[in-house]
Structure 1
């Protein structure tokens, strides 16, 4: 079951990174629409009767290999995650499946695609303006992002739903025809309520570009100043995994 703290220790660290100024935009989605896009071995997680898909823009800070210092001018960049929540019944684990990871750093995209992560080159940026965060990005195939998010009061006791969608400690990837689990660990998310200045209609293009249906409702919006994370060594879960 998802929790606010990781169920495992990540002792062998492949990467350290800070996830900063994180906005979570969540939409309910019919489970079948998500399941058809998942590889064999993974099942979409149903929370409050729905599958949930998310567009999550953030700032990546101090990204580095575990034993190396950050590289100035290279280790900081904006990123946009398009994701859902899944279970791997055979291992009893749950976590994230990324439909797309959008990043402006060509070298980072090339490096992380080799481990099975669906990184795509995507010009994007994020800036703080007074009490708001502005995220922008544009790509003719992967969709546009133009959001102004205003963080509000701290959520001291996250609901069961919010814990279910933020308390995930694994990412799954397909590499070499096999399904792998990548463990992660970080402190509990400091979460805030948030509102959008304008709407997130255009953001739906990021979902449709990933093969998901366009959203018909406004998203549930939450925000976090961020956490320091540790990414562990990928672990194989199957001999072969069929492509979604």
Structure 2
């Protein structure tokens, strides 16, 4: 069995960031999936990462702001947009990370740049993130509908499924507690919460399908201040659009108000 170092990726890399982003109102929804089934959907150089024998599929909608390269300021109307990703957890050569099956963003320029520069399987979607506090409690509402037109791009999130989307409502009060958090809401190493949310490395390859070469990238931010959340409604077809079958409500739900993020460039992996 490969020994994974789950703490080193949380430390800031000793190089300069290539960009900056702020992530807000992140909902972390997770379902268990068979590790054997998941392994058939990954590049051969990546191994399924498990916690207590289970693999997990994550659905993470959130809002981004202040998106910019290191050499340029944020631009109003361009540097802020919503995003939703479908992801799982993998490792390579002892390094744990994230594999994205799909990423949806409500910004066509961001989709184009992310496909070309970051080799990620982005789609354009119409999206909404709304905070509501009324007599029903403190809630967050997310909606997304993919607008992809024409033929799907080979190698990008299976068939792509134009029209795939998400309608989600979560409640932040009255939610079941999460056992793996300290008093500040940070995930404790060795817990399921740390396994699911404290991920700083991504693996990717050319989403056009022209090359199978793997790359890794990294982000850095303070540990997520996480709190429990409860799903009031969830109608999702983004996970299915990625070719993954899940059943029932998510088995693990968490929420984070936000973090400031440094982005570090992709590096090719040997092999």
What TM-score results when the alignment is normalised by the length of structure 2? 0.81
* Cα deviation digits, residues 109-156 of structure 1 (max 9, x gap): 011101311111111110111121110112363622111112247964
CA contact 1:143–1:209 (8 Å) conserved in 2:
yes
Q: Which has the higher contact order (CA 8 A, sep 6+)?
A: 1
1:12 and 2:16 equivalent?
Answer: yes
- Higher alpha-carbon deviation: 212-221 or 229-238: 212-221
Please give the root-mean-square deviation of Cα atoms over the aligned residues, in Å: 2.0
CA contact 1:4–1:188 (8 Å) conserved in 2:
no
2-structure distance, mates of 1:20, 1:4: 24
2-structure distance, mates of 1:62, 1:103: 15
Structure 1 residues 167 and 206: alpha-carbon distance in aligned structure 2, compared to 1, 3 A threshold: same
- Higher alpha-carbon deviation: 15-24 or 32-41: 32-41
1:165 and 2:178 equivalent?
Answer: no
CA contact 1:109–1:119 (8 Å) conserved in 2:
yes
Trace 1:24-173 onto structure 2 (pairs within 5 A): 24-89=28-93, 92-114=94-116, 115-130=118-133, 131-139=138-146, 141=162, 143-152=164-173, 156-157=181-182, 158=187, 160-173=191-204
CA contact 1:186–1:227 (8 Å) conserved in 2:
yes
CA contact 2:29–2:250 (8 Å) conserved in 1:
no
Deviation at 1:10, TM superposition (A): 5.3
Q: Secondary structure at the match of 2:11?
A: coil
Structure 1 residues 187 and 142: alpha-carbon distance in aligned structure 2, compared to 1, 3 A threshold: farther
Q: Radius of gyration: which is bigger?
A: 2
| Structure 1 segments of 4+ aligned residues over 4 angstroms from their partners | 153-156
Q: Secondary structure at the match of 2:38?
A: helix
What TM-score results when the alignment is normalised by the length of structure 1? 0.89
Name the residue aligned to 2:222.
187
Structure 2 unpaired stretches of 5+:
147-160
* Cα deviation digits, residues 8-50 of structure 1 (max 9, x gap): 4253211100110000000000012211111121011011211
Count of aligned pairs between the two proteins: 234
